[in-house]
């Protein structure tokens, strides 16, 4: 404390120590699985995709009601009951916002630094993969943010609604302005379509995106936009590359987590955020699978045994989820082939191609049932078949972070709109279809730096 620091402080820092200079350094940044996949290491997993939508969904209920009522975690209570006034319970910094945007910043820096390298470097195999990977990650995280902090997409009103603040540069001093919802989705789609030109056909690890991952994500994005023809196109294109399904008959149901990490269905691996103040009712300590889902599995459907187990802690009720595609208690939010078959089946059913839709759905289901109890689906009524497909999405894609997006888009159709309800003691809470609470507020610390930015209504 007593030494002189004038000379040290006057010295200009060597920028070369701070800015990546080579393709290998850029690849190393993009290989940071904590930044882009939410996988921080062998013993620590923190997630990267927002959990708030999952917390507010109807896939679970509080399996430990006594602990919930006595909990001092006001954040947990506010998110679980869709609090109308302060869903963040006074917290100003929300990791569901900060973590994805921090990773987007790193992707932007990689793209900027890549553009400063020689054309031979940029056009090399590694240079092309760096560009495609950075574009994919940016699109993936903007899409995840849009499911929570932007309104549900509707073509009719997308140009009139506020989307996300979109940043495409690595300058943290750049001004922040919210784009329209239409522009937000155009950016996501453009990034993915551009990434297809550069991504490799194969990746060494599921934490690295490849062509199949970009096409699978395009199918998911288009589905969220209710653009079913395009969703079908990209689901088919992804399945042309990777279509393998696990046979659940081959899984060891005695294991705590029967599905292993990086299994044959995983196309791209990422995890939902856990820890920190987002210690919500959805955490494994509290969450029990919704009883309607538990009761929906038919006799012979192996998913009930693969995905669920009875809760054992004292004062707990219901069944606990154990079917993560990450092979442990953390929630997989990545891309997998089972989702693609369901996207394909839904889009075909919506277009009236019921026979083809049944083929797609049966391809999935025959790998989920005891073969002696599997009765192939043959439904020719498009409306009935569509409902069956949507029910299968709930049973198959449990705890993947997809239900919130499904609720938002399906609420636009009166046939499938639902009112969510929670009961805590004698008190009942409701979330009606298309309520403004389907869009979370921009966190207070962000609004504090940008008070001119339009806040989401609550």
pLDDT in tens, 374-394: 999 999 999 999 999 999 999
Contact 253, 306 (CB under 8 A): yes
- pLDDT value of position 9: 46
- pLDDT value of position 13: 45
Q: Could you tell me the maximum CA-CA distance found in the chain, to the nearest angstrom?
A: 84
For the chain, the residue count is 458
Instruction: Give me the domain span that covers residue 379.
Output: 211-267+336-398
At 197-206, the pLDDT tens digits run: 999 999 999 9
Is 234 part of any domain? yes
Chain CA centroid to CA 12, Å = 42
Q: What is the CATH number of the domain that holds 352?
A: 1.25.40.390
The encoded tokens of residue 184 equal 């937000």
How far apart CA 138 and CA 140 sit, in angstroms, is 6
Confidence of residue 311 (pLDDT cuts 50, 70, 90): confident
* Structural domain count, the chain: 1
Is 387 part of any domain? yes
Is 418 part of any domain? no
Is 111 part of any domain? no
Contact 236, 296 (CB under 8 A): no
When mean pLDDT is compared across 14-18, 240-244, 436-440, the lowest value belongs to 14-18
Work out the average pLDDT over 344-358.
98
Is 151 part of any domain? no
Is 392 part of any domain? yes
- pLDDT value of position 1: 47
Is 431 part of any domain? no
Whether the predicted pLDDT of 278 surpasses 50 = no
Whether the predicted pLDDT of 180 surpasses 80 = yes
Please choose, from the candidates 334, 312, 307, 311, the residue with its C-alpha nearest in 3D space to the C-alpha of residue 322: 307
pTM: 0.94
Is 444 part of any domain? no
Contact 56, 46 (CB under 8 A): no
- pLDDT value of position 40: 74
- pLDDT value of position 15: 41
């Amino acid at each position: 404390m007593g030494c002189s620091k004038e000379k040290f402080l006057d010295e200009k820092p060597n920028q070369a120590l701070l800015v990546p200079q080579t393709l290998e350094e850029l690849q190393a940044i993009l290989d940071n699985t904590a930044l882009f996949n939410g996988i921080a290491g062998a013993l620590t997993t923190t997630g990267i995709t927002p959990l708030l939508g999952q917390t507010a969904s109807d896939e679970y209920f509080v399996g430990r009601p006594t602990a919930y009522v006595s909990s001092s975690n006001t954040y947990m209570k506010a998110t679980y009951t869709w609090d109308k006034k302060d869903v963040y319970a006074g917290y100003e910094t929300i990791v569901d916002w900060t973590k994805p945007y921090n990773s987007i910043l790193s992707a932007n820096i990689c793209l900027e630094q890549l553009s400063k390298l020689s054309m031979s470097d940029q056009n090399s195999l590694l240079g092309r993969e760096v560009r495609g990977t950075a574009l994919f990650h940016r699109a993936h995280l903007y899409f995840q943010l849009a499911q929570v902090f932007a309104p549900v997409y509707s073509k009719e009103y997308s140009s009139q609604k506020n989307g996300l603040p979109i940043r495409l540069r690595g300058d943290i001093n750049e001004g922040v302005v919210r784009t329209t919802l239409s522009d937000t989705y155009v950016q996501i789609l453009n990034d993915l379509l551009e990434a297809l030109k550069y991504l490799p056909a194969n990746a060494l690890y599921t934490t690295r995106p490849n062509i199949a991952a970009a096409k699978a994500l395009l199918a998911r994005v288009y589905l969220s936009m209710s653009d079913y023809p395009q969703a079908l196109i990209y689901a088919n294109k992804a399945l042309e590359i990777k279509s393998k399904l696990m046979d659940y008959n081959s899984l060891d149901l005695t294991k705590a987590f029967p599905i292993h990490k990086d299994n044959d269905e995983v196309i791209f691996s990422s995890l939902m955020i856990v820890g920190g103040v987002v210690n919500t009712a959805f955490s494994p300590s509290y969450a029990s699978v919704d009883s309607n889902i538990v009761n929906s599995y038919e006799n012979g459907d192996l998913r009930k045994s693969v995905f669920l187990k009875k809760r054992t802690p004292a004062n707990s009720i219901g069944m606990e989820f154990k079917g993560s595609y990450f092979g442990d208690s953390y929630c997989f939010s990545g891309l997998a082939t089972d989702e693609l078959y369901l996207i394909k089946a839904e889009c075909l059913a919506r277009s009236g191609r019921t026979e083809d839709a049944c083929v797609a759905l049966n391809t999935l289901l025959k790998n989920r049932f005891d073969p002696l109890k599997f009765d192939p689906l043959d439904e020719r009524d498009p409306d009935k078949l569509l409902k069956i497909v949507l029910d299968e999405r709930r049973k198959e894609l449990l705890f993947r972070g997809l239900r919130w997006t499904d609720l938002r888009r399906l609420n636009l159709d009166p046939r499938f709109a639902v009112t969510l309800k929670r009961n805590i003691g004698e008190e009942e809470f409701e979330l009606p279809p298309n309520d403004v609470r389907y869009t979370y507020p921009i966190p207070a610390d962000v609004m504090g730096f940008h008070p001119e930015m339009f806040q989401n209504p609550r």
